[in-house]
Chains A and B, each alone.
Chain A
Amino acid sequence: MPEVTYLEAIRQALFEEMERDVNVFCLGEDIGVYGGAFKVTEGLQVKFGESRVIDTPISEIAIVGAGAGAAHMGMRPVCEMQFMDFVSDAYNVLTNYVATARYRIGLGCPMVVRGPIGGYVRGGPFHSQNPEAAFFHTPGLKIVSPATASDAKGLLKAAIRDDDCVLFFEHKYLYRRIKEEMPEGDYVVPIGKARTARSGTDVSIITYAAMLWKSLEAAEIMQAEDGVSVEVIDLRTLLPLDDEAIVETVQKTNRVLIVHEDTRTGGIAGEITARINETCFEWLDAPILRVTAADVPLPYSPPLEDYVLPQTSDIVRALRRIVAY
């Protein structure tokens, strides 16, 4: 099997799911004729036609709202946000309509809202956001954020088959930078399960999306320079969090660093910290620390962006502090 990029893995999932189930269709801006701003949906319209790969007006509310309506009817819409920064335009319909419809009146919304997140690409304040925390707070939604190509494929397939709305956050920095051989056959990765990306004994990093790669880099450095064995947990699903995996790694290493690219205040790291505090405080040998972006809108210029976003050296520094505690 040839290696495929993270982006191609997502496209494979879309192709395979659209072939498997006629109810699956895509809608979004510039996804059809043009193939999407990042070409994720390239070739889809040629293969499946205009009615199943729909170019929409610039209308995030309509894309998500119509997705919900179609989902009520038994369709499996995959809504693309050209950049996940723009999902905020659909925030109301996602949090108030989609997330509540099943609970309130028994109408499910089996749909996916997918698109690129993340920085390190000099995209500036509106093409680099990590909006997970805005939705993490909403019961009724699920949030998935894969870090590897095979997870991107397997989780997207699971998201499309899920009976509820899944926000599927793809890190644009990873689109064409990582490659992997895809597992054989109908590869589905269950939503809600974290993965141990690297086994270790001295300290745990809990992370997701592009930060997995910086965390693994930091783990290598710690092993080589400090002889410290770092375990790295890739959450993969953010909502619901895999509490078992979190508790397991805390009980194994007793020291925790949480790394996310999103800004610090109100970020997911805070919730993970609270849960560890509530469930396994007595297992901790050091305070839980966080490496995150600084609490500013993401600036454009490289020196500014690099200063704001988490870097491998930040992770190493934080790990050393935890280990030394």
Chain B
Amino acid sequence: MALTREQKLELYYYMRLTRSLEERLVNLYRQTKVTGGLFRSLGQEADAVGAAYALDKSKGDILAPLIRNLGAMLVRGAEPTEVIRQYMAKGDSPTGGRELNIHFGGIERGFIGQISHLGDMVPVMAGVTLAAKMRGENRVGLVFVGDGATSTGAFHEGINFAAVQRCPLVVIVENNGYAYSTPVSRQTAAKSFVDKAIGYGVPGEQADGNDVLAVYDVTKRAVDRARRGEGVTLIELITYRRKGHAEHDNQSYVPAGEIERWAAENDPLDRFEKVLRGEKVKAAELRAIDERITAEIDVATDTADASPMPEPTDALRGVYADPPRVPPLWFRQDVHSAVDKNERAAGWGTYDA
């Protein structure tokens, strides 16, 4: 079923929202309002948004995103305010300041937060989809990994087990050229990541990750297969990471001209805008969406900025489902986080009152 004009504009909205929200986070980072690192998905918005768009909210589909899949989380209902609160380590962020950036979610929300150990979400999502299958639910799971995560044991064990069990799981390898500084050529001797599907006995498909409609189509086919009970699909989406691993990374390892070439010739938003214009969408209509997004992000920024930091003793709660049993440390008195005074912690990060 082809996407309607409204749906395509929605795709545009989420891609633009992803980019603009990250640009806002860069501003906040430079103002030292972001605590810790900042991870960009510049140039990869189409693969995150297009893939997540193929999931069905009404059927309870579940997404496990990675660090460059902010767009996928937005499609699944993550709010810009939540994302900014997370990055600012606020007390009313979805994780109450326990977790970083886009590491948040819940089963009922249709997306779950990743951990930093790459590949681990593949076996976890094998279990999520195994449970769905055992209960005769109609849910499908989608897990993102990067090119680097395919080298982990967790990736291998997870996709292999899911394949054996014919779990309704779509595994997307987002090939953006680099794992931190390591190029794909140092990650694998395989000609392409999609070839790995053969080894797991599952269908594999490759698509242009910067063409949002192609991403949607390839993912939708895999989601439909999973929902029909045909098990796992491995998808490789070819894209390019135009920013460093995180904001601090100067990308000194990237050959000259490579980033500029992708930016000029293969920007997913530019490409999709051309497609939309070709389908008689007026530029003014797109600019109106852009303005709406800016306004939304302005409100989200102000809301998050006004949010309180967490209460220090909150740190002791919630390790177990049982009532808290972690006693306060007897020697812990009147020690304050340095961010009360300076946004970036200097020295050891604390001072005595």
A residues near B (Cβ < 8 Å) are 25, 51-52, 54, 56-57, 59-75, 77, 92-93, 96-97, 100, 102-108, 110, 139-140, 142, 162-164, 240
Instruction: Say which residue of A71, A104, A106, A240 sits within 8 Å of B127 (CB atoms).
Output: A71
Question: B residues within 8 A CB of A162?
Answer: 321
The docked-state distance in angstroms from the alpha carbon of A75 to that of B129 is 11
C-alpha spacing A60/B326, complex, angstroms: 30
Q: Which 7 A-B pairs have the closest CB atoms?
A: A69-B127, A65-B123, A66-B127, A163-B321, A73-B131, A62-B161, A62-B157
Judge whether A107 and B107 touch: CB under 8 Å: yes
Q: Per-residue CB proximity of B300-323 to A under 8 Å, as 1/0? A: 000000000000000000111110
A92 / chain B contacts, CB cutoff of 8 Å: 117, 120, 154
Given contacts A69-B126, A73-B131, A97-B120, is CB(A102)–CB(B160) below 8 Å?
no
What residues on A are CB-neighbors of B162 within 8 Å?
Answer: 66
A93–B126 alpha-carbon span in the complex (Å): 13
Residues in chain A near residue B117, CB distance under 8 A: 92-93, 96-97
Q: Is the beta-carbon distance between B115 and A73 smaller than 8 angstroms?
A: no
Q: When the two chains form the complex, which single residue of B94, B122, B129, B131 contacts A105, counting CB atoms closer than 8 Å?
A: B94
Chain B's closest residue to A139 (CB) is B319
> A69 is contacted by which of B105, B123, B319 (Cβ under 8 Å)?
B123
Which residues of chain A come closer than 8 Å to B104, judged between CB atoms? 105
> Which residues in B have their C-beta under 8 angstroms from that of A110?
321
A92 to B153, CA, bound (A): 11
Chain A residues, CB < 8 A from B112:
72, 105, 107
Q: Are B95 and A65 in contact (CB under 8 A)?
A: no
Q: Contact between A66 and B130 (Cβ–Cβ < 8 Å)?
A: yes
* B165 in contact (CB, < 8 A): yes
Chain B residues within 8 Å of A68, by CB: 123-124, 127
| Residues of chain A with a CB closer than 8 A to B116's CB | 96
CB–CB B153/A240 < 8 A: no
**Is B271 positioned at the interface, with any CB of A under 8 Å from its CB?**
no
Q: Complex formed: what's the CA distance from A57 to B129 in Å? A: 17
**Once the chains bind, are B127 and A61 in contact (CB under 8 Å)?**
no
Q: How far is the CA of A314 from the CA of B154 in the complex (A)?
A: 43
- Measured CA separation A136–B270 after assembly (Å): 53
Q: Tell me, in angstroms, the Cα distance from A66 to B161 when the chains sit together.
A: 9
CB distance A77 to B120 under 8 Å? no
Let me know if B154 and A66 touch, CB within 8 A: no
The smallest C-beta distance from B176 to any residue of chain A, in angstroms, reads 24
**Which residues on the B side are within 8 Å of A74 (C-beta)?**
131
CB neighbours (8 Å) of A139 from chain B are 319, 326
Q: Please, how many angstroms separate the alpha-carbon atoms of A171 and B38 in the complex?
A: 47
11 A-B contact pairs sorted by A residue (CB < 8 Å): A59-B161, A66-B127, A72-B107, A73-B135, A77-B127, A96-B115, A100-B115, A105-B112, A139-B319, A140-B319, A240-B325
A62 and B318 contacting across the interface, CB-CB below 8 Å: no
Type the 1/0 row for B98-120, where 1 means its CB is closer than 8 Å to any CB of A. Answer: 11000111110000110111001
User: A102: which B residues are within 8 A, CB to CB?
Assistant: 318-321
Determine the distance from Cα of A52 to Cα of B320 in the docked complex, in whole angstroms.
27
Asked whether any CB of chain A lies closer than 8 Å to the CB of B263, the reply is: no
Report if B190 contacts A (CB, 8 A): no
Q: Which residue of B lies closest to A92 (CB)?
A: B117
Among B120, B127, B131, B318, max chain A CB count under 10 A is at: B127
Contact B105 A51 (CB under 8 A): no
Does B98 contact A104, Cβ atoms closer than 8 Å? yes
A66 touches B124 (CB 8 A): yes
Q: Are B132 and A107 in contact (CB under 8 A)?
A: no
